[in-house]
Chains A and B, each alone.
Chain A
C-alpha cells in the first residue's frame, strides 16, 4: 500500500480545521497505517503548528524556510517535489490554496489528481474509488483513480468529520535540508482586507439571503422590503455579487462572510457547498426555491418549492399585517 501524506495549511501557527479530517480520510483509505503530516513555514509559527499536529499524526515532517513564511503554492510545490517519495498518496484540503497547489503538483509528481473529493468508496489494488459531485452538487459520481504512480487527492473541507484521536507520542522530523533553494516566478505582495460595507451581515440575527433565483437586480428590492419589515438584513450568495446586484460585503460563503444568525431565509439559493460553508451556529434554515431538486433542500430545516419573486412579497405582507395588528 502506498504511503499516505497530508499537507497541512496553518496560519500564524494555528493549523487548519482540515488537519484532523485529513488524518481521518487517510484511515479510510488504509486502516492499517497512519498518515504523515507535512507542514511548511518559518519560525515559531511553524513549530507551533508542528506541535499541535502531534494530536492527530504520529509523524510530522516539517520544512522550514524563510521563503515559505507565506504559503506561495509555487514554492510549496518545489519543496514537496523534493521530499515526497515516489508513488505516494498526498491529501490536501480543497480550498483556495489546494486549488492553487495540487493540479500542478500532480503533474510534477507524475501522479493522478482528483479534485474536491467528498467520500472514499474503497480501494482495490491500485484502483481507489472516490465520491465527487458535479453540476453544482446536483448529482454525485463515483470516480476510479489509478494510484500506481501515486495520487494527489484534494478533499472538500468539512466532508469528513474528524474523530477524536488518542495518539500517545508522535515525532517531528525536520526535512528542511532536503529542500534546496526555492525560487518563484510568482511573488506574494500583500493581502487586502475588504472595506466594511454599509451593513454588517455578521451582526444580524435574521438574514434574508438571496441567490440567482432573484433573476435580476431590481428584484433585490423584494428582499429589502421583507428585511425591513422583519428588522433583518439582506445577504446573498456568490452569483448575486458576480452579477453586481449586491456588494461583496453582503456575500455569505467560504469566499465571503461567515454568519451565525438565528434564522436564515435562503431565497432562490441553490445551496452550493461554498455558500453553506459560511453559515454557522445551526440557525433555523428556511429555503425557498422553485427547483424541488435544489441541494439546499437537503440541508434546510424547512423547505418551500415556490418562486421567490412571488413568495417574498406574500411573506412581506404577512409580516406587515402582523405588525399592524400588534400596533393596535
Chain B
C-alpha cells in the first residue's frame, strides 16, 4: 500500500507555556520548543505499521520553510521511505482550504492508496484532512483510532465517538483518514537515529513544480484569517492557595472533608 502522511511542525505543548508577544499580535515564538504535531506522530507510526504488515511505502510531506525540515528528518529516522518539503512564499497565509488545496495538487502528482493526517494541530481546527478528501473526492473518516487491513480495496476503521464508544466503518480506498492520538505507541526516535539520516536529501517543491494555481492559495485567497491573539478577560477563576506545600495539603484535606469526601 502506498501511504502518504501529512505532518506539521508545531510548538510542543508539553514543553511550553504559551504567552503573547510584546505587540500582542502573535504568541512569543522565540523561546518555543517545536516538534512534530502529536496526532501526526501517531499517524506516521500507524502508516509504518500498515506498511510493515502489507508492504508498500510511506511518504511524509509538510508545508513550510527550512525550519520544518527537522520534522521530516525525524520521520525519516522513524523509518518512512520518502520525505518531501513543500515550500513557496506564495503559500504564506493560507487558510485550511489553501493548505488542503496545495496538498491536493501534491497528491495528484503521485499515486497513494491511503492518506493520513493527524486529527488536529495546535490551532485545534481539525479541518485539513476532511477538506483534502473533499477536494480529491475521496471518502473520509475523522477521529480514527484503529485501522484493519484484512480485505482488498477497503479498510475497516474505528472512529472515536462519545462516551468511549467506537464507531466501526468500512471505507473504500483510496481514502483520507484523520488519526486520533492513542491509536498506537509511536516508536522512540533518538538523536543517533536522526544523525543517521542527516545526509538524505529532502526534495523541496514549490507552486510551479506542483502546478498549484497561486490565486487559489496564500493570504489573498484565504476566506478565514486570524486577526490577533489575545488572553480573554479572566473569569473569577480559582481561589489560589499560596501557603507552603504542607499548609496547602491541610487546606485541601479540610475542604474535601467538608464536602463529605472522606469515607
**What's the minimum C-beta distance from B237 to chain A, rounded to whole angstroms?**
5
Are A139 and B27 CB-contacts (below 8 A) given A100-B141, A116-B125? yes
B140 within 8 A of A: yes
B162 within 8 A of A: yes
Q: Which chain B positions have C-beta within 8 A of A296?
A: 238
- Is there an interface contact between A310 and B245, defined as CB atoms closer than 8 Å? yes
B52 within 8 A of A: no
Binds B, one of A31-39, A164-172, A312-320: A312-320
B198 within 8 A of A: no
| Complex Cα spacing A320 to B27, Å | 44
Residue of A with least CB distance to B158: A192
**What's the minimum C-beta distance from B67 to chain A, rounded to whole angstroms?**
18
Q: Which chain A positions have C-beta within 8 A of B166?
A: 191-192, 194
Residues of B129-173 at the interface with A, using a CB-CB cut-off of 8 Å, are 129-131, 133-135, 138-143, 156, 158-172
Chain B contributes a number of interface residues (CB within 8 A of A) equal to: 85
**What's the minimum C-beta distance from A208 to chain B, rounded to whole angstroms?**
10
**What's the minimum C-beta distance from A162 to chain B, rounded to whole angstroms?**
19
**What's the minimum C-beta distance from A80 to chain B, rounded to whole angstroms?**
13
Residue of B with least CB distance to A112: B223
A327 within 8 A of B: no
Q: Which chain A positions have C-beta within 8 A of B159?
A: 96, 100
What per-residue 1/0 map shows which CB atoms of A82-111 lie under 8 Å from chain B? 000000000000011001111111111001
Contact with A74, one of B139, B230, B248 (Cβ below 8 angstroms):
B139
Q: Which chain A positions have C-beta within 8 A of B175?
A: 185-186
**What's the minimum C-beta distance from A121 to chain B, rounded to whole angstroms?**
9
**What's the minimum C-beta distance from B245 to chain A, rounded to whole angstroms?**
5
- Is there an interface contact between A185 and B261, defined as CB atoms closer than 8 Å? no
Binds A, one of B13-21, B54-62, B105-113: B13-21
A298 within 8 A of B: yes
What per-residue 1/0 map shows which CB atoms of B100-126 lie under 8 Å from chain A? 100000000000000000010011111
What are 13 A-B interface contacts by the 8 Å CB criterion?
A: A100-B130, A107-B100, A135-B18, A143-B224, A149-B223, A186-B141, A187-B169, A187-B170, A193-B164, A263-B255, A303-B241, A304-B252, A310-B245
Give residues in B with beta carbon < 8 Å to A: 11, 13-14, 17-20, 27, 42, 96-97, 100, 119, 122-131, 133-135, 138-143, 156, 158-172, 175, 178, 181-182, 185, 223-232, 234-235, 237-241, 245-246, 248-253, 255-256, 259-263
